[in-house]
C-alpha cells in the first residue's frame, strides 16, 4: 500500500493548504488516537451525519451497528460515505475576534462502505472495536455469541481517498493588531481519564485490571 493517500478533487485542501497532508502514517496516527467518527451519507432524503465508534483494521476503517437500524440495512450493495475524525488540541486566542482559532488534527476520508460478511473478518472487527477503545479489554470479556454477531452489521471503508489537516502553534494576528494590548495565547486541551468507578453490582473480590488503572486516552 502506498504511503501517500489518494489526492482527489474531494480531498484536495484549498483553504490553508499549508496545513494539509496526504501522509498515510500520519492519518493512521490520528485515527488510532480518535474514538468517535462522524459518518456522512445520503439517506435518500438529504445528507445524514451520525457519530459512531470505529476502529482501524490495517488499511480499512470498520464501523458497526444493529441490524435493526434502518440506515445500516441500506448498505447491502455498498454506498458512498464520508468519514471525519477530529482531535482538538487547544483554543487559540488572538488579538482580534476574527483571528481566533483552534489547534486540531483531523482526517477526512471518502469511500464506499461495504458489508463485512466473512465470519473471521467480522470477528476481527469486533475485537478491533473493543481494543481500540480500551487496549487489552477483548481478552478480558465474554466474546460475542452467534446471536449477538448476527444482530450486528459491520461496515468496512477503505482508507485511500483521504486527507489530513492540522493546525498547531500560537495565534497568527495581522501586523496591524499586534499592539492592541489584549492577552493572546493558547489554552491547551486534552482528553484525560479519571479514577475507575466500579460497577455497584460487580462481585466485590475482583481486582481492577492494570489496563484500566493505567488507561491513557491517547493510547501511547
Question: In the chain, where are the structural domains located?
Answer: 17-213
DSSP 118-161: -HHHHHHHHHHHHHHHSTT-GGGSPPP-HHHHHTEEEEEEES-E
Mean predicted confidence (pLDDT) in 136-151: 95
Extract the C-alpha cell encoding 169. Answer: 502553534
144-192: per-residue pLDDT in tens?
Answer: 999 999 999 999 999 999 999 999 999 999 999 999 999 999 999 999 9
Q: If pLDDT is split at 50, 70 and 90, which confidence band does 143 have?
A: very high
Q: What's the pLDDT score for residue 68?
A: 74
* Angular region, 46: left φ>0, alpha ψ -120 to 50, beta rest: left
Q: Are the CB atoms for 73 and 115 separated by under 8 Å?
A: no
Question: Alpha-carbon distance 135 to 35, whole Å?
Answer: 12
> E strand or H helix at 29, and its extent?
helix 24-33
Question: Alpha-carbon distance 30 to 2, whole Å?
Answer: 18
Q: What's the pLDDT score for residue 98?
A: 94
Q: Is the pLDDT of residue 1 over 60?
A: no
- How far are the Cα atoms of 4, 73, 194, 210, 217 from residue 213, in angstroms, in the given order? 37, 38, 9, 5, 12
Who wins on pLDDT, 36 or 69?
36
Enumerate the β-bridge partners of residue 30: none
Residue with cell 474514538: 35
Q: If pLDDT is split at 50, 70 and 90, which confidence band does 125 have?
A: very high
Q: Is the pLDDT of residue 2 over 70?
A: no
How many CA atoms, within 13 angstroms, populate the side-chain half-sphere of residue 45? 1
25-41: per-residue pLDDT in tens?
Answer: 999 999 999 999 999 99
Q: If pLDDT is split at 50, 70 and 90, which confidence band does 77 have?
A: confident
pLDDT averaged over every residue in the chain: 92
* Angular region, 109: left φ>0, alpha ψ -120 to 50, beta rest: beta
Q: Are the CB atoms for 167 and 101 separated by under 8 Å?
A: yes
pLDDT > 70 in the chain, percent: 98
* Angular region, 83: left φ>0, alpha ψ -120 to 50, beta rest: beta
Mean predicted confidence (pLDDT) in 192-204: 90
Question: Alpha-carbon distance 31 to 106, whole Å?
Answer: 9
Who wins on pLDDT, 77 or 162?
162
Residues in the chain: 220
Task: Record the pTM.
Answer: 0.92
Domain 17-213 class in CATH: mainly beta
5-21: per-residue pLDDT in tens?
Answer: 988 999 888 888 788 89
Query: Residue 140: CB partners within 8 Å, gap ≥ 6?
Result: 209, 211
Amino acid at each position: 500500500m502506498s504511503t501517500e493517500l489518494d489526492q482527489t478533487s474531494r480531498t484536495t485542501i484549498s483553504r490553508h493548504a499549508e496545513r494539509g497532508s496526504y501522509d498515510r502514517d500520519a492519518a493512521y496516527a490520528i485515527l488510532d488516537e480518535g474514538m468517535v467518527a462522524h459518518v456522512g451519507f445520503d439517506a435518500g432524503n438529504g445528507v445524514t451525519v451520525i457519530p459512531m465508534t470505529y476502529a482501524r483494521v490495517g488499511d480499512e476503517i470498520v464501523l458497526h451497528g444493529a441490524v435493526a437500524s434502518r440506515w445500516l440495512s441500506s448498505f447491502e450493495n455498498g454506498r458512498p460515505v464520508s468519514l471525519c475524525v477530529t482531535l482538538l488540541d487547544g483554543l487559540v486566542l488572538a488579538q482580534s475576534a476574527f483571528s481566533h482559532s483552534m489547534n486540531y488534527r483531523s482526517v477526512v476520508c471518502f469511500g464506499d462502505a461495504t458489508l463485512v460478511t466473512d465470519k473471521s473478518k467480522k470477528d476481527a472487527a469486533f475485537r478491533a472495536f473493543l481494543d481500540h477503545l480500551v487496549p487489552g479489554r477483548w481478552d478480558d470479556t465474554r466474546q460475542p455469541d452467534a446471536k449477538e454477531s448476527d444482530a450486528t452489521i459491520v461496515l468496512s471503508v477503505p482508507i485511500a481517498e483521504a486527507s489530513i489537516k492540522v493546525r498547531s502553534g500560537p495565534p497568527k494576528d495581522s501586523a496591524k493588531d499586534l499592539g492592541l494590548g489584549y492577552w493572546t495565547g493558547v489554552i491547551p486541551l486534552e482528553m484525560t481519564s479519571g479514577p475507575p468507578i466500579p460497577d455497584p453490582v460487580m462481585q466485590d473480590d475482583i481486582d481492577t485490571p492494570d489496563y484500566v488503572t493505567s488507561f491513557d486516552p491517547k493510547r501511547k
